[in-house]
């Protein structure tokens, strides 16, 4: 229905995920999302300036071989419900258990932590599904010396462009190291935020048109849902600018100076996104205001109709009532043209009232 | 009734606790909560990598023995109404009187103070009771070299998980010192905040459904009470992020570098909680807005019914009135089909009105 | 009346005090409050660990003797309308004229200034009078080496507790110097803020009950007055936290390290007070919202009654009107049971309407 | 009319001053205000501890003589439309053209700029004219070694007090240099802000009384105009605190340490003014809220009257209508006391309704 | 229509420009605006103190000749849809590809980036077209040693003044280098913001008058559109103050100390613009409030008319109805003056009602 038309997601029934986690030790790697358990799938793209190869269905040992190899490797883990596999992988790469916990914790807010030898980041990919609904997907990235390790919930992602550029050897990506890959992935995520914002902008315009044309209660509901969605998205997007700026200021040898120029660009984009979100928030507040003003305007309309009808006919009815009285001695009743005189009076009254309301600008 | 259903607590009658305290010297240890006076109960869990023992019903001397012992000791004081006992304990551990005052002052806002040789913290545990009401409980913790001293108001707490992990030797807790225990307790408190927030989220959704389905005045009242509760909880939760971040920056030798990694995780969680609280606040404001818009919508409905009824029947009544007049000379009255003509006119008017209101989209 | 019941002060007629001051040189000591001119009264409490003496009716020379004496002296000037006396005193203690100006300027906002050899502070004492009205009183304190000089407008104050502790030798006050006395006085002022806040909380709860039970226009007026009062009090209380924190960071030798521990406690309290004020502000805004929602709810009630009455009886009256027409040829009039049939129709209509409104949940 | 009574200024017709300036080089000295062109008038007050002399009608050469003279000189230029004269003067004092541009640019926001050898400041004098309207006047001051150069738009100003103190040798002003004079002028400006705020406070109270007593639409208009005026004044006053604080932190040798003590006092005053402005803003917002609540209250009143009248008489009219029907067979019509019975029924209904509305608290 | 009259632009249909860009490598130079593809046009103004020459229709080689020439050169590229040309130019000037991307990206928010050897800035020119609509135009500037390279979307711009001053040798522009030219262009952009703000101010005043005179629903719509426009403009203008301030603090040798004095002036202007925008935002919020208050006032008017009419005539109709009843035994009907008495009663009621409503101030 209307909900679908506006691209609003259906309310999901959500089990208390927190409850399950309570009391477990910090650093416990346990998946908290709502996907069903399944094996993780891994593919690895390794490349240098000369060639790029893509492999899938690898075992942990094979993956670890890429670790300090001569090429830049993008190790992509799809599906984060298989906690055992992920812990094994983490041990292989000598990662802290705490970051594995965050990598599979779908509630984790965006963050970037620097550790000795690697940089760890959590982000939300946002993209539109076939119904133009906004789908959030948890993802985590680890930047190591010449490797980027990526964890994502499902196969769908926003990295087509990056993969294409590696394969097609377009742009600089093949000539640069893992830090540029890390940036390119981050950039792809941020670029998709723009798409999501455009969708929100589109919804606001749809709602705006409805508010002006047809301010039904359902519209108010849609405005409120939009506001909630903007709040939710903001929570995922807002911290990104801070994180990118921290990367730029980082003194880690993992990020080369050249790459920081590109990160500055990404910072710019995230600033722009935050500004847009702010504007959309204010616009949705304005929408509600506009809705209320239209409601009160409609009420005015209704009241005017009532007032005009009642004010015109109640006095006329009174006059008719007077000459419906049954007094014996009512001389007017016996005048020959009494009836016609009354009609004239009533018509004059009627016309007078119309003029009065016209002057008041109610007609 | 409805209040209970929404999990809102009953308003408590509160004596002026402040009045009683006025004029007493700073550093006076006096309990200000609303629990009845009773003896404090103490249990001590001491553990190292090999074994863990739990003892209860200890006297002050026995407790002090744990102070600089070889094992890590968690000394838990339940009940803080027994001021004499607490002062004795404080003297034994060489604690400043000011912190004892704060330890038993149930109005104390969350804080962390570093002293020579120990770190003192006050927090609010929040948990849900059997009616899903949010219960705040004052608690204070002192981190000493190999001891954590915990003061809590009642026996109920949020530390089951920590106790279990010590006993079951699960996770790292048995292999690490008092600072990790301190962190684990803090982490347990913060984890419970998530549960409380989930409950608030649940209430917001309940109220949201009621606002859409049935916006009675009682719903507005519930929304306002929710807003007050969020305000109150925020006051207890909000400072925590600041405090944890101060612990991370602390140069005290009591907190080892390793533990700071975990504290960073806790900081992350408290940031997330604050963001959620912010979102819930805005959502409850939206709720009220929605309620007002629904109210005004209902009013519109009422007015439309009135206007339609009045606008249709008042003119008809007027016509009937006209032909109820008793003028001698009213030719229409004597026409054979006069009566039927009037009926036709009235029906035409009726139908015309209906079409008019239909067009105005009022029907 | 109601105003009194809610503890709201009467609006005072205030002459333009600013006008009188305009054009005079900075540092001119002139009283701006609304108390009548009268002599200042002085009492001095001097104490050390062994003994404490209180003297009154002292002359300037006698007062100055305490200045660098062996004991800690609390010199309390009551009444600040006697500008000559105060200037003389200031000269005796070698105080800057600017601070004397502030000491007697009842409009001065809270401040703390450090000078060579003394620290000067201005605060507002707030306390409740017998009608539970909030009374502000201007006061200024000068901390010197072993002397605290206090200026206050009237005799009433919030320092009973401090005086008692000095006399009774309770707590640490007798064993510590002037800086602790300074802190103790400040602490007494802050403690009274709690009492004032409790009173405001009480008023909010009263108004809340009235808003729910009986939202008359006078209630809206009381809410607005409460908001104004909170604004006014905030202005006096808000800066205190900043000032105390500046005292803690001060490097003046006048404040010993030990005393700073206590000041940290006072800082904590002022933070708590500011948070409460913030919450009360938001609560009073919610109150107004609630009032408006109740108003609009009452309007709905009124409209429903009108609509139900009119919608039911207007059609019935129309039917009656029809059969009151005087057409010669109205066959229904001559049916034997015509009258009864009309009654049946009217009753059916009536019942139908009732069911309709019942279904709409208007009854 | 009412506008005048509330002291609101009439809306001025304003030509696009910006348009005229567009495209001219920065540093072009051109007057942008709305005063008519006229010659500048200059008076110079020069003084030292012994004597003070005032001279008027001076030429540029004569003025320049004061520049490095032995006495402190206050050179006051009244009228800033004579751009040639001002440029000449500026060249004589070796002032940057940019500051001359600002000196005559009546749109310039308050600012303080330090240059080699002089400090330049722009402020808005605000004072009340004979109708208690708030009049802003642009003014600029240059502090040089022993000279203060003042530019003002018209003769009226707020410096009477300073002039009097120089002449009467009251206070310290004669014994101190140009920096103290600079401070004294700034202080006079800030002191007048208090007067203006008092006037605003007065208007708020007037409006408050009107809102309570007689909430006509014109009152809403006045509230909005007040809000606009507060916004405008805030723009002129707000930056001052920042500027004074920058003067205090300045390392320029032009401002002696002693004078900084006085500047701290001025800073205090500007903080206080900013707080008041903030409070007035919130109060004017509350006023509007109160107005709306009163409006909706009045509506309630109106609706109640309508509802009571209609609810009482519509059913009665229906009864009368019934017995006005002309059915042949209406047995009640022939009962001897039928008429009286109907009257009794109608009176009972009437009384019942009254009781009902009384119970609902509508009467 | 009204939209046009208020200078509001028509809603443009906007293709998803983001979509096209997604997946392309960072640093890809691709135009995103809505102008049609066309060749870029270039003109170069080169000048020194002696002479200035303007050339158009230059090829890339010719342009590059100016690069390190003896004169200051202003190279102006009009039209940024020709990506090949721009990349070629960029290569010639050794510019980073990232900045070329920004130069043609019409969505780029204002920014300033310093690179080795040049400073790059993106701004929005805002000017009014012939319909007084606000037109934004993307533009980018590169400051090099003695060259300023300017990219703009269309031929129209805000630089007439600068060109004139170069040609006419007025002001200092001919005697100073490229950094002053850079400043002069920036200053011209900022100066035009004032014009745009004046236009917004004008619209606010128009809307204000309409709100007071004739608060139709279309006015609310215009207010909301104004709010949106202010939001949009703020996004382009707001960052400028930050950027200018960064230029002032820059240590790049490209900007001479003298020029920084002028930049300080520009900073001042951007601060003023931001303040004005803030004020306009608050004023447009007030407008909406005023609109709502006027709406509710009009509703009150309507209700009063209805209430007065109904309250007066419904009781009178009732009386007429009573004596229209057909009871056999109605003694009043047979009194000789019964009819007249009833008229007197009705007139008294009528007058009484009028007095009642007069007293209530409803007439």
Residue environment code for D251-268, b if the CB has 16+ CB neighbours within 10 A, otherwise e: eeebbeeebbbbbebbbb
DSSP A128-167: E-TT--EEEEEEEEEE-SSEEEEEESSS--S-HHHHHHHH
- How far C180 CA lies from chain D's nearest CA (Å)? 27
- What is the dotted CATH code of the domain comprising E301-359? 1.20.58.340
Q: Do residue A262 and residue E26 have CB atoms under 8 angstroms apart?
A: yes
User: Phi and psi dihedrals of D240, rounded to 5?
Assistant: -60, -45
| Averaged confidence pLDDT in chain C | 87
Beta strand pairing status for C72-78 and C147-152? parallel
A neighbour chains, 3+ CB pairs within 8 Å: B, E
Average pLDDT over residues C340-353: 94
Chain B residue with minimum CA distance to C195? B18
Residues 201-220, chain C: which have Cβ within 8 Å of B? 205, 212
According to the model, what pLDDT value does residue E261 have? 87
| Averaged confidence pLDDT in chain D | 87
Average pLDDT over residues C266-274: 91
Overall residue count recorded for chain B in this entry: 363
The percent of residues above 90 in pLDDT, for chain A, comes to 48
Q: Mind listing the pLDDT tens digit for each residue in A83-112?
A: 888 888 999 999 988 888 888 888 888 999
Confidence grade of residue C22 (pLDDT, cut at 50, 70, 90): low
Q: Which residues contact C336 (CB under 8 A, 6 or more apart)?
A: D329
According to the model, what pLDDT value does residue C5 have? 43
Query: What are D216-221's contacts with CB under 8 Å, separation 24+?
Result: D217/E293, D217/E294, D217/E297, D218/D2, D219/D291, D220/D288, D220/D291, D220/E290, D220/E293, D220/E294, D220/E297, D221/E212, D221/E290
Average pLDDT over residues B180-209: 92
Average pLDDT over residues C168-188: 88
Please name every residue paired with D134 in a beta bridge, in sequence order, or none if there are none: D128
Q: Looking at the predicted structure, is the pLDDT value of residue E56 above 50?
A: yes
Q: Does domain A302-359 have CATH number 3.40.50.300?
A: no
* Residue D135 contacts E where some CB pair is shorter than 8 Å: no
Q: Looking at the predicted structure, is the pLDDT value of residue D8 above 70?
A: no
* Domain residue spans of chain E: 2-10+24-293, 301-359
CA distance B102 to B107: 9
According to the model, what pLDDT value does residue E320 have? 93
Confidence grade of residue D19 (pLDDT, cut at 50, 70, 90): low
According to the model, what pLDDT value does residue A9 have? 43
Chain A residue with minimum CA distance to B198? A16
Q: Looking at the predicted structure, is the pLDDT value of residue C2 above 60?
A: no
* Residue A264 contacts E where some CB pair is shorter than 8 Å: yes
Residues of A in contact with B283 (CB under 8 A): 228, 231
Cα–Cα nearest to C190, from C125, C278, C286: C125
According to the model, what pLDDT value does residue C363 have? 78
Assigned architecture for domain C300-359: Up-down Bundle (1.20)
According to the model, what pLDDT value does residue C13 have? 41
Size of interface D-E (CB pairs under 8 A): 158
Q: Please answer whether residues A100 and A90 qualify as being in contact, where contact means their C-beta atoms are separated by less than 8 angstroms.
A: yes
Q: Looking at the predicted structure, is the pLDDT value of residue B328 above 50?
A: yes
Q: Which of D297, D299, D328 sits opposite C333 (nearest CB)?
A: D328
Q: Which of C275, C286, C314 sits opposite B224 (nearest CB)?
A: C286
- How far A125 CA lies from chain B's nearest CA (Å)? 18
Average pLDDT over residues A323-346: 91
According to the model, what pLDDT value does residue C213 have? 84
E neighbour chains, 3+ CB pairs within 8 Å: A, D
Average pLDDT over residues D323-341: 90
Q: Does domain A2-10+24-293 have CATH number 3.30.460.20?
A: yes
* Residue D293 contacts C where some CB pair is shorter than 8 Å: yes
Residues of A in contact with B285 (CB under 8 A): none
Chain C residue with minimum CA distance to B311? C314
According to the model, what pLDDT value does residue D7 have? 42
Domains D2-9+28-293 and D299-359 share a fold: no
Residues of C in contact with B22 (CB under 8 A): 161, 191-192, 195
Q: Please answer whether residues B139 and B122 qualify as being in contact, where contact means their C-beta atoms are separated by less than 8 angstroms.
A: yes
Q: Which of C275, C282, C321 sits opposite B324 (nearest CB)?
A: C321
Q: Looking at the predicted structure, is the pLDDT value of residue E4 above 90?
A: no
Confidence grade of residue D248 (pLDDT, cut at 50, 70, 90): very high
Please tell me the class of the D299-359 domain: mainly alpha
Q: Looking at the predicted structure, is the pLDDT value of residue B84 above 90?
A: no
Q: Looking at the predicted structure, is the pLDDT value of residue A176 above 90?
A: no
Q: Do residue E296 and residue D295 have CB atoms under 8 angstroms apart?
A: yes
Q: Mind listing the pLDDT tens digit for each residue in B235-265?
A: 899 999 999 999 999 989 999 988 998 999 8
Q: Which residues contact B74 (CB under 8 A, 6 or more apart)?
A: B44, B45, B46, B147, B148, B150, B166, B181
Size of interface A-E (CB pairs under 8 A): 158
Q: Do residue D323 and residue E328 have CB atoms under 8 angstroms apart?
A: no
Average pLDDT over residues D126-148: 91
Average pLDDT over residues A3-16: 43
Q: Please answer whether residues B290 and B219 qualify as being in contact, where contact means their C-beta atoms are separated by less than 8 angstroms.
A: no
According to the model, what pLDDT value does residue B21 have? 61
Q: Looking at the predicted structure, is the pLDDT value of residue D13 above 60?
A: no
Average pLDDT over residues D68-97: 89
Q: Which of E25, E111, E228 sits opposite A170 (nearest CB)?
A: E25
Average pLDDT over residues A111-130: 91
CA distance C358 to C304: 12
Least confident residue range of A142-156, C160-174, C227-241, E137-151: C160-174
CA distance A5 to D361: 47
According to the model, what pLDDT value does residue C23 have? 64
According to the model, what pLDDT value does residue C18 have? 57
Least confident residue range of B87-96, D31-40, D53-62: D31-40
Superfamily of domain D2-9+28-293: CorA soluble domain-like (3.30.460.20)
Q: Mind listing the pLDDT tens digit for each residue in A24-54?
A: 777 777 776 777 777 788 989 999 888 889 9
User: Phi and psi dihedrals of C336, rounded to 5?
Assistant: -65, -45
Please tell me the class of the C2-12+23-293 domain: alpha beta
Instruction: Pinpoint the alpha helices (H) of chain E.
Output: 2-5, 17-21, 60-65, 83-92, 97-104, 160-168, 178-213, 217-249, 257-322, 338-359
* Residue D50 contacts E where some CB pair is shorter than 8 Å: no
Q: Mind listing the pLDDT tens digit for each residue in C300-345?
A: 989 999 999 999 999 999 999 999 999 988 888 999 889 999 999 9
Q: Please answer whether residues B24 and B53 qualify as being in contact, where contact means their C-beta atoms are separated by less than 8 angstroms.
A: no
Substitution target in A305, A310, A334, A341 with the highest count of B β-carbons within 10 Å is A305
Residue environment code for C173-184, b if the CB has 16+ CB neighbours within 10 A, otherwise e: bbebbbbbbbbb
Q: Looking at the predicted structure, is the pLDDT value of residue D318 above 90?
A: yes
CA distance C167 to C169: 5
Confidence grade of residue E102 (pLDDT, cut at 50, 70, 90): confident
Q: Looking at the predicted structure, is the pLDDT value of residue C227 above 80?
A: yes
The percent of residues above 70 in pLDDT, for chain D, comes to 93
Residues of D in contact with E162 (CB under 8 A): 23
Q: Looking at the predicted structure, is the pLDDT value of residue C184 above 90?
A: yes
Q: Mind listing the pLDDT tens digit for each residue in C88-97?
A: 899 999 998 8
Q: Mind listing the pLDDT tens digit for each residue in E214-256?
A: 888 889 999 999 999 999 899 899 999 999 999 999 989 999 9
The percent of residues above 90 in pLDDT, for chain D, comes to 50
According to the model, what pLDDT value does residue C15 have? 43
According to the model, what pLDDT value does residue B18 have? 57
Q: Do residue C231 and residue D279 have CB atoms under 8 angstroms apart?
A: yes
Q: Which of D265, D289, D315 sits opposite C313 (nearest CB)?
A: D315
Chain C residue with minimum CA distance to D292? C292
Q: Looking at the predicted structure, is the pLDDT value of residue C17 above 70?
A: no
| Averaged confidence pLDDT in chain A | 87
Confidence grade of residue B3 (pLDDT, cut at 50, 70, 90): very low
- How far D102 CA lies from chain C's nearest CA (Å)? 28
**Topology, domain B2-12+27-293:** Beta Polymerase; domain 2 (3.30.460)
Q: Mind listing the pLDDT tens digit for each residue in E316-330?
A: 999 999 999 999 888
Average pLDDT over residues D233-252: 92
Q: Looking at the predicted structure, is the pLDDT value of residue A12 above 60?
A: no
Chain C residue with minimum CA distance to D268? C109
Beta strand pairing status for A147-152 and A72-78? parallel
Confidence grade of residue C1 (pLDDT, cut at 50, 70, 90): very low
């Amino acid at each position: 229905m209307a909900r679908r038309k506006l691209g609003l997601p259906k309310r999901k029934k959500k089990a208390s995920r927190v409850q399950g986690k309570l009391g477990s030790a910090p650093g416990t790697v346990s998946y908290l999302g709502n996907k069903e358990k399944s094996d993780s799938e891994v593919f690895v793209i390794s490349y240098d300036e000369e060639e790029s190869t893509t492999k899938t269905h690898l075992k942990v040992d094979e993956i670890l071989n890429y670790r300090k190899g001569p090429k830049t490797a993008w190790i992509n883990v799809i599906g984060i419900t298989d906690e055992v596999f992920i812990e094994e992988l983490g041990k292989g790469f000598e990662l802290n258990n705490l970051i594995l916990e965050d990598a599979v914790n779908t509630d984790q807010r965006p963050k970037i932590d620097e550790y000795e030898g690697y940089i760890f980041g959590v982000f939300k990919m946002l993209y539109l599904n076939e119904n133009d609904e906004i789908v959030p997907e948890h993802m985590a990235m680890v930047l190591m010396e010449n490797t980027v390790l990526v964890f994502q919930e499902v196969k769908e992602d926003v990295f087509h462009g990056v993969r294409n550029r590696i394969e097609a050897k377009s742009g600089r990506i093949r000539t640069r190291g893992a830090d540029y890959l890390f940036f390119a992935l981050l950039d792809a995520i941020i670029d998709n935020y723009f798409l999501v914002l455009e969708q929100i902008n589109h919804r606001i315009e749809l709602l705006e048109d409805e508010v002006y044309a047809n301010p039904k209660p359902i519209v108010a509901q849609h405005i409120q849902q939009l506001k909630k969605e903007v709040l939710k998205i903001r929570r995922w997007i807002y911290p990104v600018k801070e994180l990118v700026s921290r990367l730029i200021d980082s003194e880690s040898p993992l990020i080369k100076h050249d790459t920081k120029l590109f990160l500055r660009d990404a910072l710019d984009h995230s600033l722009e996104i935050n500004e847009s979100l702010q504007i959309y928030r204010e616009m949705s507040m304005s929408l509600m205001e506009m809705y209320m003003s239209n409601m009160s305007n409609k009420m005015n309309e209704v009241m005017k109709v009532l007032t005009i009808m009642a004010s015109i006919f109640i006095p006329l009815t009174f006059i008719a009532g007077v000459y419906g009285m049954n007094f014996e001695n009512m001389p007017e009743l016996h005048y020959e043209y009494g009836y016609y005189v009354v009609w004239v009076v009533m018509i004059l009254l009627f016309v007078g009232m119309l003029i009065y309301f016209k002057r008041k600008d109610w007609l």
